[in-house]
Chains A and B, each alone.
Chain A
Amino acid sequence: MTDAPAPATSGQPIHTDVAIIGAGPIGLFAVFELGLLDLKCHLIDILDRPGGQCTELYPEKPIYDIPGLPIVTGQELVNRLMEQIKPFDPQFHFGEMATSLEKLADGRWKLVTDAGTEIIAPVVVIAAGAGSFQPKRPPVPGIEAFENAGDGIGVHYAVRKMETFRGKNILIAGGGDSALDWVINLAPLAKTLTLVHHRDGFRAAQHSVNQMRELEKEGKVKFHVASVKAIHGEPGKLTGVTLAGHDKSEWHHETDAFLPFFGLTIKLGPIAEFGINLHENLIPVDTARFESQTPGIFAIGDINTYAGKLKLILSGFHEAALMAQAAFHIARPGEKLRFQYTTSSSNLQKKLGVS
């Protein structure tokens, strides 16, 4: 539960060899393959940590089909990849979404994020999986009109500054850790705080549930087994919602703010606007270079498509290796690529810091 990262304020574009969109397992391994060829990388990810789906969806679940690792959890795999690429000093821009991609007059690419970070590089690698993780939006008709209504009012999927909710009537929906954490943290400063959830039970940590029950006893939190069926007010000015119980009873509930916490889901996001050819939300690539139909823009991992494609982590690793070979010739035109093995090349071993 952290506040959003501060936007980049330097205003200076970053120059590097490769900009990678997505810091999941494939984006991370791409750093390794590019690093062996002396190409430096900056990575952008909308999440606040590396790992993508591996750490967001299944950090504790074992994976059994990584070659050489008979069993490894999503989090362990990501930890090992981070260790493996450390010698190449990748630069991460977490909590940022790549929002635009533009070709410069000199042929390089300028990638801009929603935090204002600008990365200029000859090569862009899209390793974005199924897209970017975004908060799940409850299926309440017209809810969009109440998003971005302002501090402490309307619909919010995250709490950036608690203070903006002081003295407000707050409605929270959900039963996970985020929902209960914010019930506990906002109850002391809210005018009223109401929690709705579809059952009288919670997946959140037991100590959070206990705290919530305590606040309910003290009358500082109201809890209903219910869900939000309709939302009322003028666009930008929320006045209340219709709540419904499982017995089909419905009632009006006045509120200034509505905070749904149902975790994240994956949407393709701004990549669709980059001008790259897409086929059913996937990027067609050739299987020699894993380059999109736009030269200089590569796509590896679950985001790409080609004859015989399998959405497996191990396939993404292979794609990263071939991509790096092709990317080298774009980033270092005219230079000779020396193909070497890490087992035998003292040059590579020096880069890896092992000799």
Chain B
Amino acid sequence: MKIFAIDRQGKEYTLEGRDGWSVMEILRDGGLDIAAECGGACACATCHVYVNDGWFDKLPKPSDAEIDMLDMALAVEPNSRLSCQIICSDETDGIKVTVAPE
């Protein structure tokens, strides 16, 4: 399963997702500059990404905790998500995300 990611400098990455891992973990291990300060606990909003090309509506809806935590993210857009809360599966194969500014 693939993840297509764009970092803050506009560089494009094609990463291999792992079933059950969060997109944040794949981005971090793939060498993208993503702080993820709380380590994936939905507690810091520093793994903020934009979900592109219609993928936002294909994902399971964010939890109330994630929607609340996004209030602490900068430059939130309608397609904003916390990447620690997007879990890789066959359904996310091919997802496109852009790391949000910090």
Contacts and interface: CB of A to CB of B under 8 A. Distances in A.
A227 B72 contact: no
Contacts of A202: 71
Interface size class of A (residues with CB under 8 A): 20 to 34
Interface in A108-138: 130, 136-138
Given A58-B43, A263-B45, A138 B38 contact: no
Contacts of A217: none
A245 to B, nearest CB: 11
Contact of B38 (A58, A136, A197, A201): A58
Contacts of B68: 203
A199 B70 CA distance: 10
Contacts of B75: 138-139, 227
B47 to A, nearest CB: 12
A57 B37 CA distance: 9
Contact of A265 (B46, B67, B76, B80): B46
A57 B44 contact: yes
A139 B102 CA distance: 6
B74 A246 contact: no
Among B46, B71, B73, B78: residue with most chain A CB under 10 A = B71
A261 B41 CA distance: 21
Interface size class of B (residues with CB under 8 A): 20 to 34
B71 A266 contact: no
Interface in B17-68: 35, 37-38, 41, 43-46, 67-68
Contacts of B45: 262-263
B78 A246 contact: yes
B74 A136 contact: yes
Contacts of A227: 75-76
Nearest to A227: B75
A227 B76 CA distance: 8
A51 B44 CA distance: 16
A263 B41 contact: no
Interface of B: 35, 37-38, 41, 43-46, 67-78, 80, 101-102
Interface of A: 53, 57-58, 61, 130, 136-139, 174-176, 197-199, 201-203, 227, 246, 262-263, 265-266
